[in-house]
């Protein structure tokens, strides 16, 4: 062994290596993205403004995105600026995802930002406030060296609301509230994911156990440990928790959790009745005040808008801004007497609250940055699709429940696999094409969507979506999911083929 020469690194590097990293971009001239974890989806308006400033100073044109895991993502980040950025985030008490994605092997998986109901602690209808538990889980895992080298990432969500806004069915561990005699606790769904890794997109399975509030942390930790210690370390394609759940079966996972927490859990056969809804518009809080959900399209915002929203939060609310699970923002604690003023101000800065139901939930991924699409991007195609729907149907969409999700590739970050109407990219670079998926949804009987047309060009989106929605609303449906159930995939495949001017496949 040769002589050691110590690097003259600042102490910060050692501290930061466990809690901060940059992700790899490969499009629009961006080398790196910065994905700021927003714990519990909640930021003070000051911190929200600071992130806007960072988007200007280190990104381009103040561009930022809200992700569907409630993080805020910046692009065009230079590696040379990373330490300055990390120092600033550290001072703000924030961190980033670890982005171990780039490693070719089954290593460096972390616990991703825990997805939490954005109306937690506020919503008049919520069954249990999860802010405290979510904070405890997040604090435990962020930068925890024992959980930074798992076979792959681990995704957790927790909600106390009755509308499953946190999409528990597509998490590695999705916790939802259950009311029982003797108090409210949680049920858990395990082994969900929309990504392509084996066994492919999967709806999480019920653990079948009632988890009292005071055992939620222990159960969560046990589940993550099971993944860390037992998920596949040989094959990246098989290294997500969903594969282990399939291999072991739910019962073995449950028994292992119970052994780890030192006690059996009561049986439970309650599953979420409703899921994947947004808290739209103005919501009533339990303290009589209101929260306002601010709609963004595809989570896109610029620093000016961010500053405007921070000001509204300060002037009319309590100076807090939250990120939602459908790429929107939420301003809590607005007194009823101030709602009118806040609404007016939000309209003035370009984010009026009078949106149609499908616009609150519509999502698109940043495919142009990650380089999976070149000619178009999922966010642009989402804008294209919503414009087309607006000009063709307008008010007729007021009562339609339509989950429209667009992902640029099979990794499906924006959940086309559970959409009523989803587009999933085929990752073919210049000639971007999407598969059309229909009929997914998490409410009632959870279903993955089914492919009804292949290789649709961005320019064809308008026609095919238009034709399907036309048939849906003309037939008097107010829920695209039910329309799909009634008509079935073959009939809608034929409708899609005809709208695309293609021969029907036999």
Partner 1 sequence: MPDLIEAGDGVYEMDVRGYSCPYPEVFTRNAIDSLEPGDVLKITLDNRPSTETVPAAVEEVGNRVLGVESRGSREWVIEVESR
Binding site for partner 1 (CB under 8 A): 1-9, 13-14, 17, 21-24, 31-32, 79-80, 82-83, 98-100, 102-105, 107-108, 149
Q: Which stretch binds ligand SF4 (CB under 6 A): 18-26, 263-271, 365-373, 469-477?
A: 365-373
Closest to partner 1 by CB, 80 or 476: 80
- Tell me, by CB under 6 A, how many residues bind ligand SF4: 13
Query: If contact means CB under 5 to 8 A according to the sort of partner, which of partner 1, ligand SF4, none does residue 1 touch?
Result: partner 1
Q: Who's near 415: CB < 8 A, 6+ residues apart? A: 68, 167, 170, 194, 363, 405, 407, 422
With CB under 6 A as the contact rule, the residue among 71, 407, 432, 449 that binds ligand SF4 is 407
Which partner, ligand SF4, partner 1, none, binds residue 145 by CB below 5 to 8 Å per kind? Answer: none
Instruction: Check: CB of residue 170 under 8 Å from CB of residue 446.
Output: no
Nearer to partner 1, 161 or 370 (CB): 370
Distance of closest approach, residue 172 Cβ to ligand SF4, in angstroms = 17
Query: Please, what is the minimum distance in Å from the beta carbon of residue 12 to partner 1?
Result: 10
365 contact choice in partner 1, ligand SF4, none (CB below 5 to 8 Å, kind-dependent): ligand SF4
Q: Is 119 in the site for ligand SF4 (CB under 6 A)?
A: no
Which residue in 111, 130, 342, 413 binds ligand SF4 (CB under 6 A)? Answer: 413
The tokens describing 446, both together, are: 């959870």
Contact 407, 365 (CB under 8 A): yes
Q: What is the DSSP letter of 17?
A: T
Whole-number minimum distance, CB 41 to partner 1, in Å? 24
Q: CA-to-CA distance for 44 and 216, rounded, in angstroms?
A: 27
**76 alpha-carbon distance from chain centroid:** 22
Residue closer to ligand SF4, measured from CB, 272 or 408: 408
Q: Which is nearer to ligand SF4, 356 or 380 (CB)?
A: 380
Query: Which of the listed partners (partner 1, ligand SF4, none) does 366 bind, with a CB threshold of 5 to 8 Å by partner kind?
Result: ligand SF4
Using CB atoms within 10 A of its CB, is residue 328 exposed (0-12), middle (13-18) or buried (19+)?
Answer: buried
CB 421 within 8 A of CB 461: no
Closer to partner 1 at the Cβ: 350 or 429? 429
CB of 57 to partner 1, least distance (A): 17
412 binds ligand SF4 (CB under 6 A): yes
C-alpha pair distances (Å), 345 with each of 217, 299, 305, 313, 354: 40, 20, 11, 11, 13
Q: Are 432 and 376 in contact (CB under 8 A)?
A: yes
Contacts of 210 (CB under 8 A, 6+ apart): 178, 180, 185, 186, 187, 265, 266, 267, 268
315 binds, among partner 1, ligand SF4, none (CB under 5 to 8 A by kind): none
One of 71, 95, 323, 367 touching ligand SF4 (CB under 6 A): 367
Residue 105, binding choice from ligand SF4, partner 1, none, Cβ under 5 to 8 Å by partner class: partner 1
What is the C-alpha to C-alpha distance for residues 178 and 81, in angstroms, rounded to an integer?
46
Report the DSSP beta bridge partners of residue 37.
Answer: 95
With a CB cutoff of 8 Å and minimum separation 6, the contacts of 52 are 62, 64, 303, 306, 307, 310
> Does the footprint of ligand SF4 cover residue 408 (CB under 6 A)?
yes
CA-closest candidate to residue 362, choices 316, 312, 324, 317 = 324
Interaction between residue 372 and ligand SF4 (CB under 6 A): yes
What part of residues 416-455 is at the interface with ligand SF4 (CB under 6 A)? 425
Nearer to ligand SF4, 290 or 411 (CB): 411
**What's the angle, vertex CA 246, arms to CA 106 and CA 115, rounded to 5?**
70
Rounded to 5 degrees, φ, ψ at 487 are: -85, -35
Q: Rounded to an integer, what distance in angstroms lies between the CA atom of residue 365 and that of residue 414? A: 5
Contacted entry of ligand SF4, partner 1, none for residue 370, CB cut-off 5 to 8 Å set by kind: ligand SF4
Q: How far is the CB of 251 from ligand SF4 (least distance, A)?
A: 33
CB-based contact 500:466 (threshold 8 Å): no
Q: Is 365 in the site for ligand SF4 (CB under 6 A)?
A: yes
Identity of the residue, 321 or 370, whose beta carbon is nearer to ligand SF4 in the bound complex: 370
- Candidate ranges 149-157, 268-276, 316-324, 407-415; the one touching ligand SF4 (CB under 6 A): 407-415
* Nearest residue to ligand SF4, by Cβ distance, number only: 408
Report the distance separating Cα 428 and Cα 64, nearest Å. 26
Enumerate binding residues for ligand SF4 (CB under 6 A).
365-367, 370, 372, 378, 407-409, 411-413, 425
């Amino acid at each position: 062994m040769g002589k050691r020469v110590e690097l003259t690194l600042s102490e910060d590097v050692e501290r930061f290596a466990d809690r901060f990293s940059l992700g790899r971009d490969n499009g629009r001239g961006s080398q790196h993205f910065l994905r700021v974890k927003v714990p519990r989806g909640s930021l003070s308006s000051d911190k929200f403004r600071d992130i806007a400033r960072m988007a200007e100073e280190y990104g381009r044109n103040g561009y930022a995105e809200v992700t569907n895991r409630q993080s805020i993502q910046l692009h065009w980040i230079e590696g040379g600026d990373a330490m300055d950025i990390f120092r600033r985030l550290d001072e703000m008490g924030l961190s980033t995802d670890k982005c171990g994605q780039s490693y070719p092997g089954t290593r460096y998986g972390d616990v991703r930002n825990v997805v939490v109901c954005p109306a937690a602690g506020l919503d008049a209808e919520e069954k249990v406030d999860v802010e405290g538990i979510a904070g405890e889980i997040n604090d435990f895992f962020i930068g925890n060296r024992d959980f930074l080298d798992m076979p792959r990432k681990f995704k957790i969500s927790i909600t106390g609301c009755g509308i499953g806004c946190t999409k528990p069915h597509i998490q590695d561990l999705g916790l939802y509230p259950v009311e029982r005699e003797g108090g409210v606790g949680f049920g858990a769904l395990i082994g969900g994911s929309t990504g392509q890794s084996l066994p492919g997109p999967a709806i999480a399975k019920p653990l079948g156990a009632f988890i009292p509030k005071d055992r939620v942390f222990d159960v969560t930790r046990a589940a993550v440990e099971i993944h860390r210690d037992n998920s596949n370390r040989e094959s990246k394609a098989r290294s997500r928790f969903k594969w282990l759940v399939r291999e072991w079966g739910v019962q073995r996972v449950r028994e292992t959790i119970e052994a780890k927490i030192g006690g059996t859990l009561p049986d439970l056969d309650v599953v979420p009745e409703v899921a994947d809804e947004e808290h739209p518009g103005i919501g009533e809080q339990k303290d009589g005040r209101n929260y306002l959900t601010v709609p963004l399209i595809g989570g896109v915002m610029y620093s000016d808008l961010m500053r405007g929203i921070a000001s509204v939060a300060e002037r009319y609310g309590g100076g807090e801004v939250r990120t939602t699970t459908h790429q929107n923002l939420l301003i809590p604690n607005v007194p009823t007497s101030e709602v009118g003023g806040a609404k007016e101000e939000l309209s003035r800065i370009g984010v009026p609250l009078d949106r149609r139901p499908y616009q609150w939930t519509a999502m698109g991924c940043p495919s142009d940055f990650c380089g999976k699409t070149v000619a178009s991007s999922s966010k642009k195609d989402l804008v294209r699709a919503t414009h087309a729907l607006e000009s063709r149907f307008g008010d007729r969409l007021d009562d339609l429940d339509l989950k429209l999700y667009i992902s640029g590739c099979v990794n499906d970050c924006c959940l086309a696999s559970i959409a009523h109407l989803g587009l999933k990219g085929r990752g073919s670079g210049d000639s971007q094409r999407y598969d059309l998926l229909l009929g997914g949804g998490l409410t009632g009987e959870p279903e993955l969507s089914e492919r009804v047309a292949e290789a649709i060009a961005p320019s064809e989106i308008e026609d095919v979506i238009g034709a399907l929605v036309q048939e849906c609303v003309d037939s008097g449906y107010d829920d695209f999911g039910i329309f799909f159930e009634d008509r079935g995939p073959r009939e809608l495949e034929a409708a899609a083929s005809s709208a695309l001017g293609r021969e029907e496949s036999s």
